[in-house]
């Protein structure tokens, strides 16, 4: 495997009873890129994130991170190796303060609470939530909660960050800030894979996109190629993106 490949899935299959959520999915994630993972609802995008982050061991197939087989490694160990994810529905501890929520991530790298707190404050400044550090997480607005989710993941100091629909449902100005934040994350040397349905965001942000449909890899390429791919138009985009 070439060293510019950070993570590779080989033939990953995930069955839930009779349903095959991922079917023989082989993809490579290149070091330093922003990769889009797109496809219709139920295509298996979040399931693939789960396989990469260690939510469950896939039914079949293999996952390699920096050339190492991590297929059976627990999520916490993958996190220590440098894989972090956010969840589609933010998972904050609402009775705790914002900074305490981020400390949960920072403890992955800092055993000492003072150092974890300092790292959490830095991360909150980085994501633009520095002014909300002492607020209860439950009082954050929905877009702020998404940022908190990103902050907690970044505080683990990942090499690979999996973002599950963090920019979906935002107003245009919030989405613009979100796009800036993802670029800043990449600027830190973190490789980003993002599940995103809003094609305007995908088109401006990602360098390469992978399309899943019915659990299978349907297409991959530059966003400008993807939006012209007949199979992708038929399965996902519809005619409105034909001329994009
Ligand atoms: N833990 C589970 N048990 C049973 N079925 C599941 C489980 N997780 C996902 N599925 C099913 O697997 C399929 C793929 O789901 P997944 O959430 O990965 O799709 P997705 O592409 O992320 O969809 P969306 O864009 O709606 O989030 C769906 O049919 C879903 O209902």
Mean pLDDT value across the chain: 93
240 pLDDT exceeds 80? no
Name the nearest CA neighbour of 44 among 235, 181, 192, 184: 235
| pLDDT higher than 50, residue 239 | yes
Same domain, 172 and 236: yes
Q: Ligand 1 pocket check: which of 17, 18, 21 to mutate, most ligand atoms within 8 Å of Cβ? A: 21
Q: With respect to residue 87, please indicate whether it lies within any of the assigned structural domains.
A: no
ipTM of the complex: 0.96
Q: What is the number of structural domains in the chain?
A: 2
**pLDDT score at 183:** 96
Q: Are residues 77 and 168 in the same domain?
A: yes
Nearest CA to ligand 1 atom 2: 16
Query: For the segment 8-31, what is each residue's pLDDT rounded down to a tens digit?
Result: 999 999 999 999 999 999 999 999
Specify the range with the lowest mean pLDDT, choosing from 118-132, 141-155, 225-239: 225-239
Q: Is it the case that residue 121 has pLDDT exceeding 70?
A: yes
Give the domain extent around 232. 1-82+160-244
Tell me the pLDDT band of 197, cut-offs 50, 70 and 90.
confident
Q: Say whether both 141 and 186 belong to one domain.
A: no
- The residue from 106, 138, 157 where one domain ends is 157
Domain boundary among 105, 123, 157: 157
Q: Give me the mean pLDDT over the 106-130 stretch.
A: 97
Q: Which ligand 1 atom sits nearest the alpha carbon of residue 50?
A: 18
Q: Residue 165 to residues 49, 93, 142: CA-CA distances in angstroms?
A: 12, 20, 13
Write out the DSSP string of 186-197. Answer: HHTT-EEEEE--
CB atoms within 10 A of CB 139: 12
Write out residues with Cβ below 6 Å of ligand 1.
16, 19, 21, 39, 41-47, 88
Domain match, 140 and 170 both:
no
Atom 27 in ligand 1: which residue has the minimum CA distance?
Answer: 41
pLDDT at 218 over 50: yes
In the predicted model, what is the mean pLDDT of residues 128-145? 95
| Ligand 1, pocket-test mutation among 13, 14, 15, 16, most atoms within 8 A of CB | 16
- Ligand 1 center to 10 CA (angstroms): 20
Report percent pLDDT > 70 for the chain.
Answer: 96
Let me know whether 153 and 204 are in one domain: no
Distance 136 CA to ligand 1 centre (A): 31
**Which residue out of 17, 36, 38, 43 has the highest number of ligand 1 atoms within 8 Å of its CB and is therefore the one to mutate?**
43
């Amino acid at each position: 495997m070439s060293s510019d490949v950070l993570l590779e899935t080989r033939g990953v299959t995930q069955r839930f009873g009779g349903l095959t959520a991922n079917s023989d999915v082989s993809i490579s994630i290149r070091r330093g890129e922003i990769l889009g993972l797109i496809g219709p609802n139920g295509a298996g995008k979040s399931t693939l994130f789960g396989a990469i982050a260690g939510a469950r061991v896939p039914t079949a197939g293999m996952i390699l991170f920096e050339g190492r087989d991590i297929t059976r490694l627990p999520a916490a160990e993958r996190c220590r190796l440098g894989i972090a994810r956010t969840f589609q529905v933010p998972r904050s501890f609402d009775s705790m303060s914002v900074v305490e929520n981020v400390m949960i991530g920072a403890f992955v790298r800092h055993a000492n609470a003072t150092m974890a707190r300092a790292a959490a404050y830095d991360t909150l400044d980085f994501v633009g939530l520095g002014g909300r550090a002492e607020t209860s997480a439950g009082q954050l607005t929905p877009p702020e909660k998404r940022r908190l989710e990103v902050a907690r993941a970044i505080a683990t100091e990942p090499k690979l960050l999996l973002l599950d629909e963090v920019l979906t449902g935002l107003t245009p100005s919030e989405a613009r800030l979100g796009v800036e934040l993802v670029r800043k994350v990449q600027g830190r040397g973190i490789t980003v894979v993002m599940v995103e349905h809003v094609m305007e965001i995908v088109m401006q942000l990602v360098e390469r996109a992978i399309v899943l449909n019915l659990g299978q890899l349907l297409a991959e390429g530059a966003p400008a190629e993807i939006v012209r791919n007949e199979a992708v138009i038929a399965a996902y985009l519809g005619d409105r993106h034909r001329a994009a």
